Chain A
């Protein structure tokens, strides 16, 4: 079975500085990986996904993530944080190809952006 670990429960950055949210996965095969964002009192929204194409994936709002098989990581980055980035971020691994829709969520990382 696959699983995902988000290494930080809370990350705080200043506006305009880089963002790094860390995610490690465990899987016996090449997984599909996703990042979702949840703004306060709003639904979850897909930021980006990796499905065995390019290892560097670009998403919405300037976010990107790099799949590193050797490190079993899929960290989320953004060069310059904006106040509107403050939210909860979830890393997700899927069970494809054995169980296509078995999606497992990490515990989440709360991003705080200071002015």
Chain B
């Protein structure tokens, strides 16, 4: 079946512009995560959505970053007034979520953001 998809795959933008990154999770997955992976670095947690609950925004690095998830499915990560340090690969993952056990995450291919 279809996996997690992200668009665009690559985005080059000028410093100060706003960007939107899109994630389509696996159908039926209630949990959705955004991570950032800078060159040679591990994954940095950004935000987590679980069903209709309020999202966990504890990883967002500044108020320039925001995310929403419409209808419990597609999610958009928005970065306003981009800075060069925002350049990274942005990864989205989804999982079955719920309670009881930890479910594995399924990752999308990522969006490579370059801020010039």
Contacts and interface: CB of A to CB of B under 8 A. Distances in A.
Nearest to A49: B104
B110 to A, nearest CB: 7
B101 A51 contact: yes
Contact of A104 (B45, B56, B97, B109): B45
A3 B57 CA distance: 18
Interface in A70-109: 90, 94-97, 100-108
Nearest to B97: A101
Contacts of B100: 100
B101 A90 contact: no
A101 B31 contact: yes
Interface residues of B, number: 26
A46 interface: yes
A7 interface: no
A103 B105 contact: yes
Contact of B48 (A96, A102, A105): A102
B42 A100 contact: no
A105 B97 contact: no
B43 interface: yes
B62 interface: no
A44 B43 CA distance: 11
B104 A46 contact: yes
A98 B104 CA distance: 17
Interface in B2-16: none
A105 B97 CA distance: 17
B42 A94 contact: no
